DNA sequence: GTCAGTGCAAACTTTTTGCAACTAC
DNA sequence: GTAGTTGCAAAAAGTTTGCACTGAC
């Protein structure tokens, strides 16, 4: 059994436990969604997930069910939600290293990076009467590519007004 | 002149400079929007801003103009955008101490807090080919109030299923 | 058999866009 | 005078909701 399958098995068990504990039904749709999500490496939005499940041999599920199920998955701590841009972005979070997000304000590219010191600093911050479950750090700025592009534009004096 | 008026003068100048530099017009709407925003202490969304400007003796502006102008203000580094919940939240950011956000996953309450060590750690993180302009740290969890409420519920065994 | 869960479509909310009128320059 | 801005209304995009049907228990 590959690493990926092992992971899928584990999260399936966690989800089953969660569903049992909360008196929810164990429908094939829910497991199909979980399985698909844990096949995706990075971020995804509902629409992407919908297309993925439509295209594959997998179960086809409605958007409504996707929205419903993803709430359960978030509660079960198997998925987290991000909100850069206009669409909600999700990502699986079981057994994924903590990482932070760099977002280019120009091209919108999102890059993940890890930094233990940073992670440590955040997790050990004393909070007044607040019980931390998770966090998101979004760093905005210009990615190398966009910055170089801008410099070139400035040189050529093409740039006069922004959009 | 009060502190608040002094601040408003300053940001007005910054905005004027920004508009000049980018060849944008200095319309009364834009200044009225800036002025209203710098009267608001915490976060706000477009709808709140719209109501505020409608109710006051101030200029009434359309939502379209609010959306347009707020983009300019973000570029001028006078406003930043947050995306907790479903609506985009904004806040003025000139001369406001850096702060982080605690968000209660149950009641949705957002609290700001400051922490110099954390700030330092984030700002001095080495990023590969990325030019940081600003960042947002969102810490999710349960606020004291909700946590106490939950504990009480558990004790009384009222809680069986989540919503 | 029952009721939670599903699919579908309609409704709703937030944001964007097209266009005529306006006004800063 | 001209082109950037505005307001309005329509459209788009994302998400939620109501309801009849289905299937997990």
Which of A19, A22, A75, A129 is best to mutate for the B interface (most B CBs within 10 A)?
A129
Band (pLDDT 50/70/90 cuts) for residue B163 is: very low
Confirm whether any atom of chain C, the nucleic acid strand, is less than 7 Å from CB of B141: no
Q: Which residues of A100-114 are buried (b: 16+ CB within 10 A; e: fewer)?
A: bbbbbbeeeebbebe
> Chain C bases under 7 Å from protein CB?
4-9, 13-18, 23-25
pLDDT of residue B153: 66
Instruction: Give CA–CA dist A40/A11, Å, rounded.
Output: 14
Chain-chain contact of B125 with A118 (C-beta, under 8 angstroms): yes
State how far residue B79 is from chain A, nearest Cα, in angstroms.
14
Per-residue pLDDT, A87: 87
* A146 touches A153 (CB < 8 A): no
pTM of the model: 0.85
- Asked if residues B32 and B61 have their Cβ atoms less than 8 Å apart, the reply is yes
Residue A114 has pLDDT above 70, yes or no: yes
Q: What does residue B51 show for φ and ψ, rounded to 5 degrees?
A: -60, -45
**Which numeric CATH code is attached to B97-163?**
3.30.1490.190
Which residues, at least 6 apart from B21, have a Cβ–Cβ distance to it below 8 Å? none
The alpha-carbon gap from A95 to the nearest alpha carbon of chain B, in Å, equals 19
Closest nucleotide (CA of B24 to C1')?
A: D4
The reply to whether residue A130 touches residue B102, judged by beta carbons under 8 angstroms, is yes
Nearest CA in chain A to B116: A125
Best residue of A73, A130, A145, A146 to probe chain B, by most B CBs closer than 10 Å: A130
Rg (CA), chain B: 20
Q: Is the pLDDT at B108 greater than 90, yes or no?
A: no
Q: Do B142 and A131 touch (CB under 8 A)?
A: yes
Per-domain residue ranges of chain A: 1-96, 97-163
Phi, psi of B94 (to 5 degrees): -75, 130
What CATH class has A1-96? mainly alpha
Distance from the Cα of A128 to chain B's closest Cα (Å) equals 8
Report angle CA B36, B38, B40 to the nearest 5 degrees.
Answer: 80
Let me know how many helices (H) and strands (E) chain A has, helices first. 6, 5
Let me know if the fold of B1-96 is the same as that of B97-163. Answer: no
Average pLDDT, chain A: 88
B50 against A106, higher pLDDT:
B50
Our measurement of CA A74 to C1' C6, in angstroms, reads 20
Helices (H) then strands (E): counts for chain B:
6, 5
Q: Say which of B117, B129, B143 has its CB closest to residue A121.
A: B117
The C-alpha atoms of residue A58 and residue A78 are separated, in whole angstroms, by: 20
Q: Measured in angstroms, what separates residue B82's CA from nucleotide D9's C1'? A: 28
pLDDT digits (tens, 9 = 90+) for B32-82: 999 999 999 989 999 999 999 987 766 889 999 999 999 999 999 999 999
CB atoms within 10 A of CB A92: 21
Instruction: Please give the structure tokens belonging to residue A7.
Output: 């992971």
As a whole number, the mean pLDDT across chain B is 88
pLDDT over 80 at A44, yes or no: yes
């Amino acid at each position: 059994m590959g690493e990926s399958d092992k992971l899928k098995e584990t999260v399936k068990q966690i989800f089953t436990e969660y569903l049992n504990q909360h008196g929810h039904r164990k429908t094939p749709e829910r497991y199909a969604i979980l399985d698909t999500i844990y096949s995706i490496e990075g971020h995804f939005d509902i629409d992407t997930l919908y297309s993925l499940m439509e295209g594959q041999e997998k179960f086809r599920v409605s958007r409504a069910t996707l929205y419903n199920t993803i709430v359960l998955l978030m509660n079960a701590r198997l998925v987290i939600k991000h909100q850069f841009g206009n669409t909600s972005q999700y990502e699986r979070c079981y057994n994924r290293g903590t990482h932070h997000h760099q977002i280019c304000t120009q091209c919108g590219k999102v890059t993940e990076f890890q930094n233990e010191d940073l992670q440590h600093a955040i997790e050990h911050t004393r909070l007044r009467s607040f019980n931390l479950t998770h966090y998101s750090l979004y760093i905005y700025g210009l990615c190398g590519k966009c910055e170089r592009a801008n410099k070139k534009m400035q040189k050529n004096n093409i740039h006069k007004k922004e959009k």
